[in-house]
Amino acid sequence: MTHGRACAARIRERAAQEGWPLVHTAAQIATCCQVSPLRAWRLAHGMPLEEAARRLIELCAEAGLRQPKLRKGDLSRYELGRTPVPVWMIDPLCRLYQARPDWLGFGGDYSQGDPEAAQATPFQTPVPLDKPDHGGHRKSQILPPLGIGGSDDMRRRELLRQLAVTTGLALTPGHLVAIEQTRQKLFDTTAGTGIPADILDRLESLIPGYERRFYELAPLPRLGALLTDFDEVSGWLGHRLPVMTQRRLWRVAAHLADLTAETLGVLGQRAEAAAWQTTARMAADEAGDRALAIWVRAAQAIHAVHVHDDPERGVAYAREAHNLGNTPAPGTVLAFAVEAGIHAMRGNEAAACGALKQAWDALERVPGDRQRSGLWGYQDRKLQSMVSDTMTRFGRTREARAAQTEVFRHCRPNSMTYIASRFDQAKCLIHDGDLDAGCASAARTLLDLSPEYRTPLVLNRAREVLLLLPEKHRNRLAARELRDILVSAQRA
């Protein structure tokens, strides 16, 4: 759904206050308001359609360029993609908006420079330039008719590539279609002949690469990178391969699908995250990797609770995970921790503490070499985060703070484990009666994060702090300030 001009005006106001470059302002409008780059640039300049059309005609006359017969309705149709943009008009449009062609959506930036540099194209939606067919319809689409399996593979890959270098947090419907198409592609693979050994080694090396830099990547670029890699792996799985080679590829696919599910969950796309978790489970089973199969079942328990609001199913997944083998694995610890969280949500303190004890017992029996992974190892610090959550829910603030100290000492500041414990810290202050300090602590947590890390999941954690306040105290100055920060973060 696109937003109105008022939303673009708010972004322009913020851009003026914070000194954003024009390209960043236009990119934020395109992302937040879900409009084409061409319209985003006009809105970034604050031009009404009529003024833009008039100035474009004047500019062409002054520069001695071909004169367009243009009304505001024609420009609107260009922006909406209903009428292809004449190629000769690209230069006048670039002059009018002081932009590069790829910034306006005419193609992309395919240079070999740093993909994270400010010069990279920050827009995902190309403007159609091809001619309509006899029925008046374009031969190509930004993303073809929204249905799984019906897209042009090159356009889908390009959308994923651009996603990897995009700033902001919003996922458009087109993104979600491309994401789902990438997942479904694994099930539509066809026969092939084989995979070179060096490519197989490179694909397997993706997993330790993500383990090293997962939390250094902001959620949206991370999602683009994951989907691009998953797309390549699923393509190779369509070839006729030896069984052991297939299992190695399935293992890579399972890891990538699990990370994709986690990233989508952080971005607030919970239903899509649950679907990717199901894909991860299927891939782990195909790989024959028991420890990974346990892990993804425990992750499914989390999604059952938060996506489907079905604690019973969550408990069933968790128990399936820790009953899958005799020797505990990191996923076994996660499964007990999830059970503890479910019991805490229900207010059953004894059951929650009992599940935590089982988690600690399982952790002691997990072999040390299986705990080294920062992503698929459930180390002491991760379990301390669940202790923090559980004790905070029951108002046992002394025990919660002790667990938070361990989390803050060992976890990365931009990891969800760390961020969640920061919000637990704010809740503990409220439980202890220091309402203003609790709100201020939650506000600091949000402000300390870069904008790309203020995801829907993080904002929901901050809202929980506000909801914990007694209703008669929700209009206190500190609470209003936290609410204002939340509103600003959501708009951005």
In terms of average pLDDT, the best of 147-161, 266-280, 431-445 is 431-445
CATH of the domain at 481: 1.25.40
Q: Which of 166, 161, 194, 192 is nearest to 178 (CA)?
A: 161
Q: What is the DSSP string of 451-473?
A: GGG--HHHHHHHHHHHHHS-GGG
Cα 225 to its chain centre, rounded Å, is 11
Summarize pLDDT for 41-74 with one digit per residue, the tens. Answer: 999 999 999 899 888 888 888 877 777 778 888 8
Overall average pLDDT of the 241-270 stretch = 90
* Residues near 468 by beta carbon (within 8 Å), at least 6 away in sequence: 427, 430, 431, 438
Poorest-pLDDT segment among 13-22, 222-231, 255-264: 13-22
In a domain, 274, yes or no: yes
Q: What is the reported pLDDT for 13?
A: 85
Structure-token pair, residue 215: 């939390």
Q: How many domains does the chain have?
A: 3
Summarize pLDDT for 325-358 with one digit per residue, the tens. Answer: 777 888 888 899 999 999 998 999 999 999 999 9
Q: What is the DSSP string of 235-266?
A: HHTTS---HHHHHHHHHHHHHHHHHHHHHHHH
Overall average pLDDT of the 234-261 stretch = 90
Q: What is the reported pLDDT for 45?
A: 92
Helix (H) or strand (E) holding 72: helix 72-80
- Residue 132, beta-bridge partner list: 138
Compute and round to an integer the Cα radius of gyration of the chain: 25
The whole domain housing 447 covers: 380-492
Cα(463)–Cα(397) distance, integer angstroms? 19
- Judge residue 325's burial from the number of C-beta atoms within 10 Å of its C-beta, 0-12 exposed, 13-18 middle, 19 or more buried: middle
- Asked whether the predicted pLDDT for residue 122 surpasses 90, the reply is no
In a domain, 399, yes or no: yes
- Asked whether the predicted pLDDT for residue 110 surpasses 50, the reply is yes
Helix (H) or strand (E) holding 79: helix 72-80
More confident residue, 248 or 88: 248
Summarize pLDDT for 186-233 with one digit per residue, the tens. Answer: 655 544 457 888 889 999 998 888 888 887 788 888 888 899 899 989
In a domain, 311, yes or no: no
Neighbours of 361 (CB within 10 A): 12
* Residues near 287 by beta carbon (within 8 Å), at least 6 away in sequence: 247, 248, 250, 251, 253, 254
Please identify, among 229, 263, 288, the residue that sits at the C-terminal boundary of a domain: 288
Cα(180)–Cα(6) distance, integer angstroms? 32
Please identify, among 240, 255, 288, the residue that sits at the C-terminal boundary of a domain: 288
Structure-token pair, residue 250: 């399935």
In a domain, 187, yes or no: yes
Helix (H, G, I), strand (E, B) or coil at 377: coil
Q: Give per-residue burial for 413-449: e unless 16+ CB within 10 Å, then b.
A: ebbbbbbbbbbbbbbbbbbeeebbebbbbbbebbeeb
Pair 61, 182 in one domain = no
Pair 29, 96 in one domain = yes
Overall average pLDDT of the 97-103 stretch = 86
Cα(25)–Cα(473) distance, integer angstroms? 37
Q: Give per-residue burial for 212-241: e unless 16+ CB within 10 Å, then b.
A: eebbebbbbbbbbbbbbbbbbbbbbbebeb
In a domain, 266, yes or no: yes
With cut-offs at 50, 70 and 90, classify the pLDDT of residue 144. very low
In a domain, 12, yes or no: yes
Q: What is the mean pLDDT of the chain?
A: 81
Q: What is the DSSP string of 159-213?
A: HHHHHTT--SS---HHHHHHHHHHHHHGGG--------HHHHHHHHHHHHHHHHH
Please identify, among 255, 288, 321, the residue that sits at the C-terminal boundary of a domain: 288
- Asked whether the predicted pLDDT for residue 372 surpasses 70, the reply is no
Q: What is the reported pLDDT for 189?
A: 52
- Asked whether the predicted pLDDT for residue 264 surpasses 50, the reply is yes
Q: What is the reported pLDDT for 166?
A: 58
- Asked whether the predicted pLDDT for residue 458 surpasses 60, the reply is yes
Q: What is the reported pLDDT for 112?
A: 52
- Asked whether the predicted pLDDT for residue 443 surpasses 90, the reply is yes
Q: What is the reported pLDDT for 150?
A: 36
Pair 243, 176 in one domain = yes
Pair 486, 411 in one domain = yes
Summarize pLDDT for 380-415 with one digit per residue, the tens. Answer: 888 899 999 999 999 999 999 999 999 999 888 888
With cut-offs at 50, 70 and 90, classify the pLDDT of residue 116. very low
Overall average pLDDT of the 235-254 stretch = 90
Pair 160, 85 in one domain = no
Pair 165, 89 in one domain = no
Summarize pLDDT for 18-40 with one digit per residue, the tens. Answer: 777 888 888 888 877 778 889 99
With cut-offs at 50, 70 and 90, classify the pLDDT of residue 267. confident
Q: Max alpha carbon distance in the chain (Å)?
A: 81
Q: What is the reported pLDDT for 188?
A: 52
Cα(234)–Cα(232) distance, integer angstroms? 6
> Phi, psi (5° rounding) for residue 138?
-70, 150
Overall average pLDDT of the 293-312 stretch = 84
